[in-house]
Amino acid sequence: MIKKNIPVITIDGPSGTGKGTISRLVAQELGFHFLDSGALYRLLGLAARHHSIPLDDEAALVTLAGHLDIQFTFDSEHQKTDIFLEGERVTDVVRSELSGKDASIVAILPAVRQALMNRQHAFLEPPGLVADGRDMGTVIFPGAELKIFLTASLNERARRRYKQLKGKGNDVTLEDLQVVLSARDARDKQREVAPLLPADDAVQIDTTELDIDAVFIRVMSLWNNCSMKFKESRVV
């Protein structure tokens, strides 16, 4: 059951569109909670590897999802969120390309998506929530006050990811990243349940030519228009 009267902003789209960064900035600016739904799928994939569960064993993955021991803690010194799985810090490994690939494999399974639904709804607490993912506006929070769908060209998304990974000392090539990203896009768009697509009432923003500041300003201005309507609708 979704709690009423708590504002939600959903930010969906494929990897490399700046969705995670924008979602965090908007949540921080508004003092809202933040749901990184992709991290839940990544953590489930990682937990499956730890417990030697095949990534297509739907029943075992559902059980695992029900018992997933995870924790998100904000490290204020480095201004980033640390992620723990079964007590072990997995902040970096969970962001790897392999974890992203595993996540998109377990995310195909309908019962797995259903099993993670309550966990996602539990992030909805006052004063509000910014939810980042693929199906936030279409499936998880269909009544969200503001829905954003970010896009960017494949080249630009691969270039951004390349810069990020190289910065962390990873040995990757731009060409490999394009292949990896487009394979993940295809899995996300073609799955039968909750495929990656914009909600009918989502505002689409192409970030190919925009920097983070420009996207942030655009989202905040959309929210400022929409929050006025939200406040008015609560006055009886």
Interface with ligand C5P, residue 15, by CB under 6 A: yes
* Binding of ligand C5P by 102 (CB under 6 A): no
DSSP state of 139: I
Tell the smallest beta-carbon distance from residue 200 to ligand C5P (Å): 18
Tokens of 218: 């655009």
Of the two residues 83 and 103, which places its CB atom closer to ligand C5P in the complex?
A: 103
**Least distance CB 41 / ligand C5P (angstroms):** 4
Amino acid at 14: P
Inter-residue contact 109 to 45 (CB < 8 Å): no
Using CB under 6 A as the binding rule, whether residue 37 contacts ligand C5P is answered as yes
Select the span of 21-29, 127-135, 142-150, 216-224 touching ligand C5P (CB under 6 A). Answer: 127-135
| Minimum CB distance to ligand C5P, residue 229 (Å) | 26
- Which one of residues 133, 157, 158, 180 is an interface residue with ligand C5P (CB under 6 A)? 133
Interface with ligand C5P by CB under 6 A: which range of 3-11, 79-87, 128-136, 227-235? 128-136
- Provide the minimum distance between the beta carbon of 13 and ligand C5P in the complex, in angstroms, as a whole number: 9
Out of 134, 147, 157, 161, which residue is the one contacting ligand C5P (CB under 6 A)? 134
Closest distance to ligand C5P from the beta carbon of 97 (Å): 10
Binding site for ligand C5P (CB under 6 A): 15, 37-38, 41-42, 100, 103-104, 107, 133-135, 184, 188
